[in-house]
Structure 1
Amino acid sequence: MREVGRVSLIQESWALSRELVQQTRWGGFASTTLWGCPTRKYHSWLSVWRGFGRYELLPQVEELLHLEQGHFLLTTHFFQGRLAWEGYRHLTRFTAHPAWSWHYQVGELRVVKTFFLHPTRPVACFEYTFSGPVLFRWTPLWAVRAWHTLRHEPLAIVRKGDQLNLGEDLVLYLKVDPVPRFIPWSYPYAGSYYPREAERGYEATETLYAAECWEWRLHGPGTIRIALSLTGPVDAWPSLPAEAPGFSFTQALAQAAEQFFLSDAEGEYILAGHPWFGVWGRDTFISLPGLTLVRGQEERFHRIMETALRYLSPDGRFPTIFPEVYTAEDVGLWWGWAILQYLRMGADPAQVYRRYGEVLHQVVVGYLQGLAGEDGLLRVPAFPPASWMDAVIEGQPAVPRQGALVELNALWYALLRLLAELSPSEGARWRWDLLARRVLAHFKPTFWEKSRGYLADWREGPLANWQIRPNQLFAAALPYRPISDKIAELVLETVEKHLLTPRGLRTLSPGDPAYCGLYEGSPAQRDYAYHNGTVWPWLLGSYADAKLALWGEAAKPALEALFSGFESVFYAYGWEQVAEIFDGDAPHTPRGAPAQAWSVAELLRIAFHLRRL
């Protein structure tokens, strides 16, 4: 769906629930809704990355037409809790390619607004095309704030020639054609309101600031172009992105994947999701194979891996959140998982060891010294949360997990087996194999009870947690499994019976008293539901791994149906993206971040392995 007509665009709930995202490698970011109306504090025509956070610069622009019939706003915006500017009433069409374009009809006048961020140059571009004479006023409404905050303090924007000084050591360089009349307009737009923030239980009102109104008088059909550059004067007008030809859903996912990469002087990173996630270690390593290797981008895979190595701690730990939050215990295991996927896709083992063998040793030794017991299993405290189920409510884990966690120990066993096979020294291979055998000998007694027919989620001494969760699936999905084929089949059967949905796997069985099937309500209510029933698409990647390992080509029809089913929600929340999560209950409404890296990545990885059958 590359084009939306007026019938859909005039429906408020439909149009405002579809969110657009543009992320560039140079750190520029833009996000809004199909109305061009910000509904979150994270929506902005231009945001920039500074360090490991984003600055929201330009949440909205006031676009005003002066015609013989009167004054008409093209802008749609909320103030004081209500929809105060209703430019959407003039919308006739929206297209997303080759750039975002809104088509308006005001009386006899046709207006096309086009916006894009240049993919390689730090420039944001607006273009307005008018079918006839018009007096047009364009007023940028600035926020210039850190992304998780709102502005209430006064903001002074100063223009000197073609330079806009925004404060915070930020300067924009302007290129405008034709040159407008600059009208001083230092005015606070108080009460700018973001309804999605209010729905989520957060502060939702801020003050945006204008410095000038820019005015053009066109005496006939014409085009106005505005370029905002972050690094210096714009010499030539940036050209529109090339029109992408018609392509399949898999190709559309590959295009969506490009929205998660970020480069700086230190290297290249993966952003976990949009619009509020930064660079997360676990998300990076889980997303990496699908975003790079399956798309033939092996060098990018290495570039991102090597960037992450710069943040490896002396005791072999990767950051939970870059650059310096080291709280989760599983991130290094997911780094190893990315290496396993690289090998599974055909990498040369000797070359992999030459490149990453030393780090593999450092990571494994870190786990041995920090978490491994005499039985070889890894054990973790309940807090801070050690795994991906990391939501916290009032200082306590929403899903308490402690002791030996099933997926951490499945990953640990696979990592030990990997070292036992890759190590060039016979003595080293023997030592790693001995430790892997010790883990294997204790894995089944720790997590398996035949009468239940599935794996415990965690065990601490005599206490075992038998809630049916998807974490057990990794023991059946990894290239080196710590369980037999028969147990893997029973695990898969349990997962399919209790957790599988068309949008991913639930985080808890609906039959469990703790199950919560709707991700809604206050922040605490949502944090509780997050891993107690909410569906996560990224888990389908390992579900597919387990199913293909056990059933081979016979699994293909079911997996193809799951994969193609996401095409129907590809435009339902994040436009041409896959959401972070979905409700556990049908109809499995998309929730959380509208665009999530590992959701896209694992669907791409599924498609890759299906093509290889």
Structure 2
Amino acid sequence: MSYLRFDKTLLTNLEESLPREILRTNRSGAYHSSTIVDCNTRKYHGLLVIPIPELDDENHVLLSSLDETVIQHGAEFNLGLHKYHGDNYSPRGHKYIREFECEKLPTTLYRVGGVILKKEKLFVHHENRILIRYTLVDAHSDTILRLRPYLAFRSVRQYTHENSQASRRYDVVENGIKTCMYPGYPELYMQLSKENEFNFCPDWYRGIEYPKEQERGYDFNEDLYVPGYFEVHIQKGESVIFSGGVSSIDCGTLNELFDNEASRRIPRDNFKHCLINSAHQFLNKQGDDLYVLAGYPWFKCRARDMFISLPGLTLSIGEVDKFKQFMQTAVKAINAFINDEPCDLKIYEMEHPDVLLWAIWTIQQYAKMVSRENAKHEYGQLLYDILCYLTTNKHPNLEVHGNGLIYTNGREKAVTWMNSTVNGRPVIPRTGYIVEFNALWYNDLKFVGDLLSEDGSNDWTDKIQALAEKAGKAFVDTFLNEYGYLLDYVDGDMMDWSVRPNMIFTAAFDYSPLDAKQKKGIVDIVTRELLTPKGLRSLSPKSGGYNPNYVGPQIQRDYAYHQGTAWPWLEGFYLEAYLRLYKRSAISFVERQLINYEDEMSSHCISSIPELFDGNPPFKGRGAIAFAMNVAEILRTLNLLEKYDNQ
């Protein structure tokens, strides 16, 4: 039985099937996403969603969906599904679905009378092209397959509505047509692997609704343009492939292309393979540059997310060469930033004060998981340059104080990973001495000092080691309170006593200013007040302002974003700290915690992990449907677990 298989009972129950989504990417920024019954419930959903850099920096939905109709003896059975006003779904094609599985490719099996039709979807890697293969598994008489494309040609941030500016013009190409609704957009080529008839029958399908947008307090309806439909005769045992792309293709090559691409897919036949597939989906290759997209469907490449994610997405699954390729792009961005040079790379938020600190941590993971000697040879100069930049106070918002700690101004602008804002102001104005910044700072100073002095110390490495010792003492004096946990931030006389997960890094990093007893105190309070089955809460229920449910309009969600919601990526560091403390005796506990994420493989976004979860039962997944840091840290934890298992 397939690891990811859903039967008729679940699929025909829309309350169960519509919350389950699928995502496939081309590893160059484009994607296909919908629900497992192919009913789009977000404005971000679509069969072909691609970046169009000539227009803007957003993705654009070209082909929203493709409705299939099976025709026998003149009787038509429409397999499509759309939501309209008043909780009306039409044409309710989900009632014909017998099963859906996505171990290798998203595959839907329909049964209409004596007809059994299989549909398999595949997104071609590094090309803006979706392929759908229809196979007539069984039929007792002549069968016609009708395909009706729904076109949007709009940004994922907007909607399209019936208008007179949309072009109805189309041109005939091999086994299909090409069309473009608006100037500036590329032509959309829709072609089949077999000769067919295109019937030009232009119309707008009005009032299609997206309930996920309605839940989030946004506009939620649009009109989609249908230029007509394709009809093709299909025989029992025959396969017909539909191609939707921004360039023409030789239709005679579609079968071979589909088979070749399918053979390269790693089966999602267990928990780890699901996560590996998900890890690959965050890759965004643009020319010679490689980026990590922070999440789907709306995130771009954010510097902090990239550095936190890289070890888990690459090194923990043995993809060392890919790590180096990502780092080649990252190093260019870092050098441009610290030298105040213009940079056209698509890495955002490089100016955030902890980004360079996380970059050092990333190289530290490479040194641990691959080779210290290689790390020194390949990244030693970069490490030196970063610390010279920081210790001479050249960063616009990071200052080394006389006590050795680093100070950041976060009163007016959110500068940490807890970055939600309302009316342009941080919801949580973390400022001054920030606990995870200074935990990173101490760890980075010690790591770089040790690494670069392995061939003999010098004045510079001695200075770095001395600064680390000073920072370590000041860290304990500044953050450790009488209750045995760490203050979240300190700015002069202002101290934030909230119990937050940012203290856990101090117990997880290789170098920590805390002793073993102090680390255990941190792990214990995080376990008691912050640990959930789906990650660490961003705020303890005992702290003021606890708001665990990420629901409602945007402003309501902004206030809840870091006030009690649970984040899986934080648990990666928590479990690392737990393993450090309890070693092999911790293995069974860590395994039980990870099982909670295996449950997510068949819900929310199939075979991936969403951005965050509610902090209270039933811990429902929220936010982006796939989040790079979460997938990365669970993969890194699995890798750590294997090492402890093998000891």
TM-score (norm 2): 0.90
**In the alignment, is the contact (CA less than 8 A) between 1:327 and 1:384 conserved in 2?**
no
CA contact (8 A) 1:193 1:204 kept: yes
Structure 1 range deviating more: 484-493 or 545-554: 545-554
5 Å matches for 1:196-595? 196-218=212-234, 222-234=238-250, 236-237=253-254, 238-240=257-259, 241-242=262-263, 247-312=269-334, 313-315=336-338, 322-348=346-372, 350-368=373-391, 369=393, 370=395, 371=398, 372-381=400-409, 382-424=411-453, 426-449=458-481, 451-595=482-626
Q: Which amino acid aligns with 1:196?
A: K
Equivalence for 2:17: 15
- Aligned equivalents of 1:56 and 1:374: distance in 2? 53
Counterpart of 1:41 in structure 2 is 43
The CA deviation at 1:274 is 1.4
CA contact (8 A) 2:313 2:635 kept: yes
1:301 Cα deviation from its structure 2 partner: 0.5
2:539 is paired with a residue whose SS is coil
Other structure's SS at 2:546 match: coil
Cα offset for 1:252?
A: 2.6
User: Following the alignment from structure 2 to structure 1, what is the Cα–Cα distance between the partners of residues 381 and 248?
Assistant: 43
Query: Residue 103 of structure 1 corresponds to which residue in structure 2?
Result: 109
Asked whether the 8 Å contact 1:317–1:366 carries over to 2, the reply is no
1:376 and 1:593 map into 2 onto residues whose CA distance is: 38
Assess if the C-alpha contact under 8 Å between 1:41 and 1:197 holds in 2.
yes
* Deviation of the 1:324 alpha carbon: 4.8
Rounded Cα–Cα distance in structure 1 between residues aligned with 2:566 and 2:92: 35
1:22 Cα deviation (Å)? Answer: 0.4
Are 2:202 and 1:164 equivalent residues in the alignment? no
Cα displacement (A) at 1:362: 3.1
Instruction: Give identity over the alignment, percent.
Output: 30
> For residues 460 and 493 of structure 1, do their structure 2 counterparts lie closer, same or farther at Cα, with a shift above 3 Å needed?
same
DSSP-derived class of the 2:360 partner: helix
Unaligned runs of 5+ in 2: none
**Are 2:153 and 1:144 equivalent residues in the alignment?**
yes
CA shift, 1:552, in A, is 1.5
Which range moved further: 514-523 or 150-159? 150-159
Aligned residues of 2:283 and 2:291 also touching (Cα < 8 A):
yes
Give the Cα separation in 2 of the matches to 1:279 and 1:157.
36
Match status 1:182 vs 2:198: yes
**CA separation in 1, counterparts of 2:354 and 2:266?**
39
* 8 A contact 2:268–2:277 mirrored in 1: no
Which of 124-133 and 492-501 deviates more?
124-133
> Which residue identity lines up with residue 418 of structure 2 in the other structure?
M
- For residues 253-283 of structure 1, the C-alpha deviation after alignment (integer angstroms, 9 at most, x for no partner) is 2222221111111411111111121211111
Please give the alpha-carbon distance, in whole angstroms, between the structure 1 residues aligned to 2:179 and 2:353.
Answer: 43
Aligned residues: 610
Task: Name the amino acid aligned to 1:80.
Answer: H
Q: Which amino acid in 2 is paired with 1:469?
A: R
Deviation at 1:352, TM superposition (A): 1.4
What CA deviation, in whole Å up to 9, does each residue of 1:454-503 have, x standing for no partner? 00000000111010000011111111102222111111111011001111
Cα displacement (A) at 1:431:
1.3
Q: In structure 2, what is the Cα distance between the partners aligned to 1:347 and 1:373?
A: 33
Q: Is the 8 Å Cα contact of residues 122 and 258 (structure 2) preserved in structure 1?
A: no
Tell me, in whole angstroms, the C-alpha distance in 1 between the residues paired with 2:248 and 2:365: 42
Residues 317, 362 of structure 1: alpha-carbon distance in 2 compared, 3 angstrom cutoff? farther
Report how far residue 246 of structure 1 moved: 7.6
SS at structure 1 position matched to 2:95 = helix
Matches of 1:244 and 1:464, distance apart in 2: 49
Alpha-carbon deviations, 1:190-227, whole Å to 9, x = none?
A: 21211100111111112211223212245766433212
| More deviation, 425-434/487-496 | 425-434
244-253 or 471-480, which deviates more: 244-253
**SS of alignment partner, residue 455 of structure 1:** coil
Judged with a 3 Å threshold, the aligned counterparts in structure 2 of structure 1 residues 265 and 402 are, in CA distance, closer, same or farther, namely same
Question: Which segment is superposed worse, 452-461 or 80-89?
Answer: 80-89
Per-residue CA deviation, residues 399-444 of structure 1 (Å, 9 max, x unaligned), is: 2211110000110111111221122551111111122122112111
User: Is the contact between residue 267 and residue 273 of structure 2 (CA under 8 Å) also seen in structure 1?
Assistant: no
User: How big is the shift at 1:575?
Assistant: 0.4
The answer to which of 516-525 and 216-225 deviates more is 216-225
For residues 219 and 365 of structure 1, what CA distance do their matches in structure 2 show? 70
Structure 2 CA distance for partners of 1:428 and 1:90, relative to 1, 3 Å: same
On the 8 A contact 1:174/1:233 being kept in 2, the answer is no
Contact kept in structure 2, 1:288 and 1:338, CA below 8 Å: yes
Question: Conserved in 2, the CA contact under 8 Å of 1:136 and 1:216?
Answer: yes
Structure 1 residues 297 and 574: alpha-carbon distance in aligned structure 2, compared to 1, 3 A threshold: same
Question: What amino acid is aligned across from residue 70 of structure 2 in structure 1?
Answer: L
Amino acid at match of 2:51: W
Q: In the TM superposition, what is the alpha-carbon distance from 1:289 to its structure 2 partner?
A: 0.5
Distance in 2, matches of 1:462 and 1:583, equals: 33
Distance 1:187 1:579, change over 3 A: same
Q: Where do 1:52-71 residues align within 5 Å?
A: 52-68=57-73, 70-71=75-76
- Cα separation, partners in 2 of 1:397 and 1:408, compared to 1, 3 Å: same
Report the alpha carbon displacement of residue 13 of structure 1 after superposing the two structures with TM.
1.2
Measure how far apart 1:104 and its partner are. 1.4
What's the CA shift string for 1:383-404, capped at 9, x where partnerless? 3111100011122212221111
Task: Name the aligned partner's letter for residue 430 of structure 2.
Answer: R
Alignment partner of 2:121 out of 111, 115, 118: 115
Q: Distance in 2 between matches of 1:59 and 1:66?
A: 23
- The two structures, once aligned, show a CA RMSD in angstroms of 2.2
State how far apart, in whole Å, the 2-side matches of 1:364 and 1:49 are. 36
* Structure 1 pair 146–362 and aligned structure 2 pair: CA distance change class (3 A): farther
1:181: how far off? 1.2
Within 1, Cα distance between the matches of 2:514 and 2:193? Answer: 67
- Retained in 1: the 8 A contact 2:304–2:355? yes
For residues 287 and 79 of structure 1, the distance between their equivalents in structure 2, rounded to whole angstroms, comes to 39
CA drift at 1:69: 6.8
Secondary structure of the 2:428 match is coil
Residues 354 and 50 of structure 1: CA distance in aligned 2, closer, same or farther (over 3 Å): farther
Cα distance between partner residues in 1 of 2:643 and 2:63: 45
Q: In structure 1, list runs of 5 or more residues that go unmatched.
A: none
CA contact (8 A) 1:417 1:436 kept: yes
Cα 1:316–1:285 change in 2 (3 A) is farther
Q: Secondary structure at 1:304's aligned position in 2?
A: helix
Question: Is 2:104–2:267's contact at 8 Å kept on the other side of the alignment?
Answer: no
Equivalent position amino acid for 1:260 in 2: F
Give the Cα–Cα distance (whole angstroms) in 2 for the partners of residues 499 and 330 of structure 1: 23
TM-score (norm 1): 0.94
2:6 corresponds to which residue? Answer: 4
What residue is the counterpart of 1:192 in the other structure?
Answer: 208
Q: Is contact 1:114-1:126 (8 Å) kept?
A: yes
